[in-house]
Amino acid sequence: MNIYRQLNEMINYIEENLENEIKYEKMAKILGLNGYTMKSIFCVICNMSIAEYVRKRRLSNAGFDLCKDNEKIIDIALKYQYESATAFSRAFEKFHGIKPSKVKNNPEGLKIFTKLIFDENIKEKENVQYSIIERQEMILYGKGMKTNDCEISQDAPRFFAKMQAKYRNKYGRIKYGMVVYEDRFESDKFEYWVLYDKKIDEFEKYVIPKSKWIKFDIFSQDEKEIQEMSHKFYVEILPVLKYNLRNIPELEYYHDNITEFWIPIEN
């Protein structure tokens, strides 16, 4: 089944339940994936989490309701699944830039966030070669830095280059890169790590559990090419493969001017 048709079904489910509890397991079932994988694919394709999309759609509709109806703010808050008028008012003002109590006098100040619609005619591509590998528990040693979704594309290459220059003569070339998510779907805070596969006392120990991985090769170690290919994999390839992801870090393995990209999957 076309992944974009399935995503439209998922969006329709969200639209039908903006005033009710939205069940993630129901949306995962529509895509035929587990919840973590479903949220990962949505986040990469749409550049926002499902929670953010739902929040914006609810607040957009709430603004319309405040304009046309004489409902109380608390009633609209409860209608869109907020626990209190205070929580709703805070979220509403952050989104629209205006307090809900002021909407009647200034309706033109409201923002509209429209329903997503996916083009079901987009041709799905499978032109990236991949393999399934299994690795036992890995004990790695490295250092990490804090970054975020907006800055990681610049921060990670700079940090890698800095660490490579500082430690290459002492320990050899860096073997692995790793992104650790604080909460992939609710936060934009990440950690980027560079790691060696040998014990280094001045570095932190990081244990990667035994897992199966989707592995594909990028015949380059240029940061732009790595970023482009990893994004291409998530948007074009992973939705077609239908593997369920594991909630452990992804790895990049560097050797012989090749970058192996490892994506953890369930057994």
DSSP codes of every residue in 230-263? HHHIIIIIHHHH-PPBPSS-EEEEEETTEEEEEE
Nearest to 178 by CA among 150, 206, 213: 206
50 and 141 co-located in one domain: no
What's the pLDDT tens digit per position in 105-118? 777 778 999 999 99
Confidence band (pLDDT; 50, 70, 90) for 126? low
E strand segments, the chain: 131-135, 138-148, 176-181, 189-196, 204-208, 211-218, 250-255, 258-265
Q: What is the predicted pLDDT for the residue at 265? A: 93
- Answer whether residue 189 shows pLDDT above 80: no
Judge residue 223's burial from the number of C-beta atoms within 10 Å of its C-beta, 0-12 exposed, 13-18 middle, 19 or more buried.
middle
Which of 44, 78, 109 corresponds to the end of one domain?
Answer: 109
**25 falls within a domain:** yes
3-state helix, strand, coil in the chain (%, to 5): 45, 20, 35
Distances (CA, A) of 202 to 194, 198, 241, 253: 13, 12, 40, 21
Place of tokens 């409201």: 110
Q: What is the predicted pLDDT for the residue at 203? A: 97
Q: Look up the CATH number of the domain holding residue 9.
A: 1.10.10.60
What's the pLDDT tens digit per position in 227-264? 888 878 887 788 778 789 998 999 999 999 899 999 99
Q: How many residues does the chain have?
A: 267
Q: What is the predicted pLDDT for the residue at 2? A: 75
32 and 136 co-located in one domain: no
Confidence band (pLDDT; 50, 70, 90) for 127? low
- Answer whether residue 124 shows pLDDT above 60: no
- Share of residues in the chain with pLDDT > 90 (%): 58
Confidence band (pLDDT; 50, 70, 90) for 43? confident
Amino acid at 146: K
Helix (H, G, I), strand (E, B) or coil at 208: strand
- Region 19-31: mean pLDDT is 93
Q: What is the predicted pLDDT for the residue at 81? A: 95
**153 falls within a domain:** yes
pTM for this entry: 0.76
Query: Cα 32 vs. chain centroid, distance in angstroms?
Result: 18
- Those residues with Cβ within 8 angstroms of residue 148's Cβ, 6 or more apart along the chain or in another chain: 188, 189, 190
Amino acid at 148: N
Q: What is the predicted pLDDT for the residue at 209? A: 95
Nearest to 12 by CA among 92, 84, 118: 118
**14 falls within a domain:** yes
- Answer whether residue 212 shows pLDDT above 60: yes
Confidence band (pLDDT; 50, 70, 90) for 137? very high
**98 falls within a domain:** yes
Q: What is the predicted pLDDT for the residue at 145? A: 94
What's the pLDDT tens digit per position in 58-76? 999 999 999 886 789 999 9
**122 falls within a domain:** no
138 and 261 co-located in one domain: yes
103 and 224 co-located in one domain: no
CA–CA gap between residue 249 and residue 208 (Å, rounded):
8
- Region 37-51: mean pLDDT is 86
Q: What is the predicted pLDDT for the residue at 62? A: 95
- Answer whether residue 30 shows pLDDT above 60: yes
Give me the number of domains the chain comprises: 2
Tell me the longest C-alpha to C-alpha distance in the chain: 71
Q: What is the predicted pLDDT for the residue at 55? A: 95
Tell me the angle at which helices 35-46 and 3-16 cross, rounded to the nearest 10 degrees.
100
- Region 170-178: mean pLDDT is 96
- Answer whether residue 225 shows pLDDT above 90: no
